[in-house]
Amino acid sequence: MMMTMNNIVIIPWSTIGVVIAWYSSNIGVLLLNKYLLSNYGFRFPVFLTTCHMMVCSLFSYVIVSVTDAVPLQRVRSRSQFGRIVALGVVFCFSVVCGNVSLRYIPVSFNQAIGATTPFFTAVFAYAVSAKREAWVTYATLLPVVAGVVVASGGEPSFHLFGFVICVSSTAARAFKSVLQDILLSSEGEKLNSMNLLLYMAPIAVMVLLPATLLMEGNVIQITMDLARKDIRIFWYLLLSSSLAYFVNLTNFLVTKHTSALTLQVLGNAKGAVAVVVSILIFKNPISMIGMLGYALTVIGVILYSETKKRYSKN
């Protein structure tokens, strides 16, 4: 936790290290997936997501069940398990759509769209549970949406399908967070993010394997043929899958070392860092209008976070 001394905030090195690890894993998996699916030519986003979930299943079992680094929380009822299955399916859809979108749009535009998550969260919270926020909180969502509209109009690499599928991923991610809040809200059914991943990842694998065989049936043979020419493909897949797990692990650790609100603020900054890094690496063109739109979205998200925090205290 952060400490103060003579009004000076002292941040422990362990917290700084966890935040750096969280940023690195988040941005790393995003850039590596973009490289694999777009630049490298490995056009199998469903299989890539399946690899992610298989490695997440293995690492989750080791970290939670074997090492006890994270305390194990057991499923208490059949109904709770059914809710976890529902969350797992929505989670699958979100991750697959996110990976598919990277085939068609640059990381910078992907992050601009992803920043609209609070908008979809507010919409689904109202639609599903009639949860209302103060009118000023909803007003702050206008620049969030307006920013994406502006960024879309000024995006040189705009691709309609990539845009639609990325919006779908963002909406599904927001829907999962609302469902999670509703379905696992009782005191006896609360699960932390690492235990939830422990149960969701194997469910995701069972959903994704048939989808992979149906949509990308020849992926194993193609991957083997590709490996004969370039063995690095296996290392790329392993690294991408490992980073996907460490995104969740470091997310959990950042929340533990700081707070959920700090995580949200750091997440906003992370998106901006990811945009800059992706432009530097992939050299994708970006217009001043696109930059203005993304900045408008980030400002809207910050205002939304601040107003929600302020009015939730009242």
Span 241-255, pLDDT tens digits: 999 999 999 988 888
User: What average pLDDT does range 100-114 have in this prediction?
Assistant: 92
d(CA 265, CA 218): 42
Q: Has residue 259 got a pLDDT over 70? A: no
Cα distance from N-terminal residue to C-terminal residue, the chain = 26
Q: Has residue 174 got a pLDDT over 70? A: yes
Q: Has residue 57 got a pLDDT over 50? A: yes
Tokens of 25: 């894993």
User: What average pLDDT does range 224-253 have in this prediction?
Assistant: 94
Q: Has residue 8 got a pLDDT over 80? A: no
User: What average pLDDT does range 180-209 have in this prediction?
Assistant: 89
Long-range contacts of 184-187 (CB under 8 A, 24+ apart): 184/80, 184/83, 184/84, 184/87
d(CA 257, CA 1): 5
Q: Has residue 221 got a pLDDT over 60? A: yes
DSSP E strand stretches across 182-307: none
pTM of the predicted model as reported, rounded to 2 decimal places? 0.87
User: What average pLDDT does range 80-104 have in this prediction?
Assistant: 94
Lowest mean per-residue pLDDT among 68-82, 165-179, 252-266? 252-266
| Average pLDDT of the chain to the nearest whole number | 87
d(CA 179, CA 86): 9
pLDDT tier at 262, thresholds 50, 70, 90: low
What single DSSP character describes residue 258? Answer: S
Lowest mean per-residue pLDDT among 49-58, 93-102, 146-155, 305-314? 305-314
Lowest mean per-residue pLDDT among 50-54, 86-90, 267-271, 272-276? 267-271
Could you tell me how many residues make up the chain?
314
Domain ranges, ordered by start, for the chain: 3-313
d(CA 282, CA 261): 32
pLDDT tier at 185, thresholds 50, 70, 90: confident
User: pLDDT above 90 covers what percent of the chain?
Assistant: 49
Q: Has residue 7 got a pLDDT over 60? A: no
pLDDT tier at 104, thresholds 50, 70, 90: very high
Report for 162-176, 243-257, 265-279: range of highest mean pLDDT: 162-176
Q: Has residue 110 got a pLDDT over 80? A: yes
How high is the pLDDT of residue 234? 95
